[in-house]
Amino acid sequence: MVETLTSKDVRSVIEDQIEELARRNKEPEWMTRIRYKGLEAFEKAPLNDPVIDEEQLLQFIAKPEVEGLPEHIESLDDLPPEMRALLDRLGISEVEQKYIAGLAVQTDTGVIYNQFIREWAKRGLIVLPMEEALKKYPEVIKEHFLRLFNAGESKLTAYHTAVWNGGIFLYVKEGLKVPFPLHLFFLIQESSLAQAPHIIIIAGPNSQVHLIEGCTAPILVRHSLHLDMTEAYLHKGAKVQLTVLQNWPEYVHTRPMTRAMVGEEARFINTTVSLGSGKSNVANPKYWVAENGYVELNGIILGQKDWYVDLGGEMSLKGRGARGINASKAVIMDESKVITRGKIVAEARGTKGHISCDALLMSDKAVMETYPGLVSRVDDAELSHEAAIGRIREEELFYLMSRGLSEEKATQLIVKGFLEPMLKDIPVEFLVEIRKIIELAVTGGM
């Protein structure tokens, strides 16, 4: 990367993608105008990325949809082989009957999804590829698209705005409690890809839904970028669970941008399991919590090789009695570096917040940094944080080894015991796979 891009080059790299996406998706003109706003914002926007520079960013391109994908999934047989292998690994095939129900898959930049979901539309559950939602519900999308972000706040938000592709629109009608979790899978098959799905979640008053996102890719020739943006709107009393299982290989940079407006008495529970979080994983989510609302962020991070993980997150407790919890546990191996920066701002009376971060360092070259932030602007908020960084205690190890376990087994057991309390909200069919990945990683890292 010796040559430098002129601003004319930058413009044409982005403009070519915009034109291609607009043409391919036959999207409404107002959306193409939003894309051009992203392009206009790109040049002046700050980069704010510790890993990817501007030239690298522009090498990740939103590719045209891969050919040969089925339009809808009726059964697992409709999926491409790589996808089926992934689902097998995640234990999905075993519970197909139950879970295939809510399956949408984004491979590279195209989304395929389950016909079954369409039938639920009559009861008030809408799950549509974003490109399709644009045409069917233009007013709703117009109102909610890019409302929680500004295109110009960073080059990443600007780039996403310009070249977003795929993603889904999830709408749950007032009072509807969706009885099965919805699955959304992201698969990256191409190198130098900018997979930039845009996800809008609208949970009506007193509705309930659980969305599970699984992410992976086969081994690629060159790096790719997963640059998703999720905007969630929880109306009064809604309950939304978002569980993200990141199992990206080390060839993928990921920048999950998640923000949520959490209404009165609503509950948003976001659990991220970063097992293979890719080459680098940087996030700066934001949550605004209204009266008596509740946000819980759980992070389970496994750092391996030279991976770089930097997870931020700011919660603003804006309504009386709003509460927030930000908890993370990290196991860091090899030369991996993990940073956590949860922040809670208490802006209303009677609010409560807690940040915790625990890390186990498994190697002398692993690095952990934690920078929690607490801000109180009222006199009766209760904010607290706690953190502990250390290694496995030798007493513990020796105790287990004295009971006949090998050092490897003893280490596995301690690491699993360390992470286990964070896995309470993970559906059981994923737990088996998650535990296996952790076991393998810890053994390899010894």
377 binds a second copy (CB under 8 A): yes
User: Could you say which of 362, 414, 415, 438 contacts a second copy (CB under 8 A)?
Assistant: 362
422 DSSP 8-state letter: G
The 10 Å Cβ neighbour count of residue 154 is: 21
Query: Please, what is the minimum distance in Å from the beta carbon of residue 288 to a second copy?
Result: 19
The 10 Å Cβ neighbour count of residue 98 is: 12
Task: List the x/- string, 28-67, binding to a second copy by CB under 8 A.
Answer: ----------------------------------------
Span near a second copy by CB under 8 A; candidates 1-9, 147-155, 359-367, 420-428: 359-367
Span near a second copy by CB under 8 A; candidates 31-39, 99-107, 127-135, 373-381: 373-381
Distances from the Cα of 19 to the Cα of 26, 36, 39, 159, angstroms? 10, 10, 12, 14
**Which of 122, 128, 137 lies closest to 176, judged by CA?**
122
User: Could you say which of 51, 85, 121, 388 contacts a second copy (CB under 8 A)?
Assistant: 388
- How does strand 208-216 pair with strand 239-248? parallel
Question: How big is the CA angle at 35 (ends 20 and 260), to the nearest 5 degrees?
Answer: 125
User: Could you say which of 202, 359, 400, 415 contacts a second copy (CB under 8 A)?
Assistant: 359
390 binds a second copy (CB under 8 A): yes
Query: Is the CB of residue 228 less than 8 Å from the CB of residue 443?
Result: no
Nearer Cβ to a second copy, position 378 or 431? 378
407 binds a second copy (CB under 8 A): no
Span near a second copy by CB under 8 A; candidates 106-114, 131-139, 367-375, 435-443: 367-375
Hey, which bits of 312-441 come out as E strands? 314-317, 323-332, 337-340, 343-346, 352-361, 367-370, 373-376, 382-390
Nearer Cβ to a second copy, position 119 or 306? 306
d(CA 253, CA 13): 20
389 binds a second copy (CB under 8 A): yes
Q: At what angle do helices 29-44 and 155-163 cross, to 10 degrees?
A: 160
**Which of 309, 306, 305 lies closest to 273, judged by CA?**
309
349 binds a second copy (CB under 8 A): yes
Span near a second copy by CB under 8 A; candidates 72-80, 117-125, 315-323, 360-368: 360-368
330 binds a second copy (CB under 8 A): no
305 binds a second copy (CB under 8 A): no
Query: Is the CB of residue 237 less than 8 Å from the CB of residue 267?
Result: no
Nearer Cβ to a second copy, position 80 or 373? 373
Query: Please, what is the minimum distance in Å from the beta carbon of residue 381 to a second copy?
Result: 7
Residues that bind a second copy in the complex, under the rule CB under 8 A = 346, 349, 359, 361-364, 366-391
